[in-house]
């Protein structure tokens, strides 16, 4: 079985590399990608969609948007509820969008047809919007640190009931770049069966960088060995795995109403931090500390200029990030104390 898995990865890598020699077509995500929020309309039988939250049944609908040039397009889209915790706990759970490849091709777009839509989750308009905006910012902050990250696009979504054409509600949400496009962009292939890898199987610079970021935002809802809320990508067969984090709603940075602290780690509040990465080599940690220091101004600017949130909300987020930077010099001792043991190298 392991031999067949390796052969499959080799074939995927060959295909990906061959495709990279050709000019890449823009994707639908690329067409939408910009700094400001894009207004979109999702039309679907909403009651049926929400009633199927415990299934993976797709529902037919339409996705209408206006791009940066002012061009308006309507695409067929199939959508379903997705996620684990949020699938059943959210008033409006996150969605998976599946676009029609023939339509994408006819528009001159690449065939990256599936994207995740992060929704407002909570029924309350204010808190639902604030939470999704803060989680969007967490992704944007990690984009500041590395291209080995999921890109995201903020949306102002109008949900319309199919048939009646009545507006159901309007909320913020954001699209996450598809894994297939991330693979193409990084010239890598996802390793879905790479559970319980030993530390030496990871790219330790990547592992430590994302663990430091998770520590920055106060997120303990991830695990690299069980592949929880991270993607593992390999650029060549048997190459060390690169870790791409996602899902930050349980972090102290976002601080959703439903987030709970991990008491088994000794954490009493959601905003408390705990380092869950490996106790890595000193030179790797120092390299990433320098990286975080060099990107500090860009990260703070990202928060300061994000006027979709109130000044008070932005001030709270900046203070939380600055608290991380004020204690950055203590990180080596934190990693030594809290970092998971790894084989001596």
Per-domain residue ranges of the chain: 34-180, 187-338
Torsion 136-140-142-147 (CA) sign: positive
How much is the average pLDDT of 325-339? 95
Cα–Cα distance for residue pair 76/33, rounded to 1 Å: 19
Higher pLDDT among residues 80 and 68, named by residue? 80
Average pLDDT, the chain: 91
CA distance 99 to 60: 10
Determine the Cα–Cα distance for residues 251 and 217; give it in Å rounded to an integer. Answer: 6
Q: Minimal CA–CA distance to 41: which of 126, 164, 161?
A: 161
Which residues are 97's β-sheet partners? 79, 115
Mean of the pLDDT values across residues 114-131?
95
Weakest mean pLDDT among 20-29, 38-47, 66-75, 287-296? 20-29
Q: What percent of the chain has pLDDT over 70?
A: 92
Q: What burial class does residue 171 get, using C-beta atoms within 10 Å of its C-beta: 0-12 exposed, 13-18 middle, 19+ buried?
A: buried
pLDDT band at 345 (very low <50, low <70, confident <90, very high): very low
In terms of DSSP bridges, do strands 167-176 and 114-118 run parallel, antiparallel, or are they unpaired?
antiparallel
pTM: predicted TM-score of the whole model, two decimal places: 0.92
What is the average per-residue pLDDT within 218-236?
94
Q: Are 233 and 183 in contact (CB under 8 A)?
A: yes
């Amino acid at each position: 079985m392991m031999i067949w898995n390796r052969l499959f990865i080799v074939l995927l890598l060959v295909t990906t590399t061959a495709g990279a020699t050709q000019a890449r077509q823009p994707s639908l995500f690329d067409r939408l990608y910009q700094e400001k929020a894009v207004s979109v309309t999702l039309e679907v039988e909403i009651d049926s969609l929400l009633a199927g939250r415990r299934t993976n049944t797709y529902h037919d609908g339409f996705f209408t948007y206006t791009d940066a040039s002012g061009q308006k397009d309507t695409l067929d889209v199939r959508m379903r509820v997705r996620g684990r915790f949020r699938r059943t706990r959210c008033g409006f759970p996150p969605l998976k969008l599946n676009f029609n490849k023939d339509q994408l091709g006819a528009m001159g777009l690449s065939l990256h047809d599936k994207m995740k839509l992060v929704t407002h989750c909570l029924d309350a308009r204010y808190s639902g919007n604030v939470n999704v905006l803060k989680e969007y910012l967490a992704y944007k902050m990690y984009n500041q640190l590395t291209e080995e990250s999921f890109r995201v696009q903020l949306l102002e979504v109008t949900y319309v009931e199919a048939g009646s054409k009545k507006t159901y509600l309007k909320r913020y949400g954001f699209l996450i770049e598809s894994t297939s496009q991330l693979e193409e962009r990084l010239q890598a292939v996802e390793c879905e069966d790479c559970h319980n890898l030993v530390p030496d199987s990871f790219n330790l610079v990547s592992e430590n960088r994302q663990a430091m970021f998770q520590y920055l935002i106060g997120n303990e809802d991830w695990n690299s060995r069980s592949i929880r809320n991270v993607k593992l990508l390999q650029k060549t067969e048997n190459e060390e795995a690169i870790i791409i984090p996602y899902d930050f709603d349980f972090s102290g940075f976002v601080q959703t109403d439903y987030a709970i602290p991990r008491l088994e780690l000794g954490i009493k509040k959601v905003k408390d931090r705990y380092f869950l990465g490996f106790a890595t080599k000193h030179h790797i940690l120092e390299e990433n500390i320098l990286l975080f220091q060099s990107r500090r101004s860009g990260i703070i600017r990202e928060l300061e200029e994000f006027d979709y949130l109130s000044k008070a909300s932005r001030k709270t987020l900046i203070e939380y990030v600055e608290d991380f930077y004020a204690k950055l010099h203590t990180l080596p001792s934190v990693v030594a104390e809290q970092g998971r043991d790894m084989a001596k190298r």
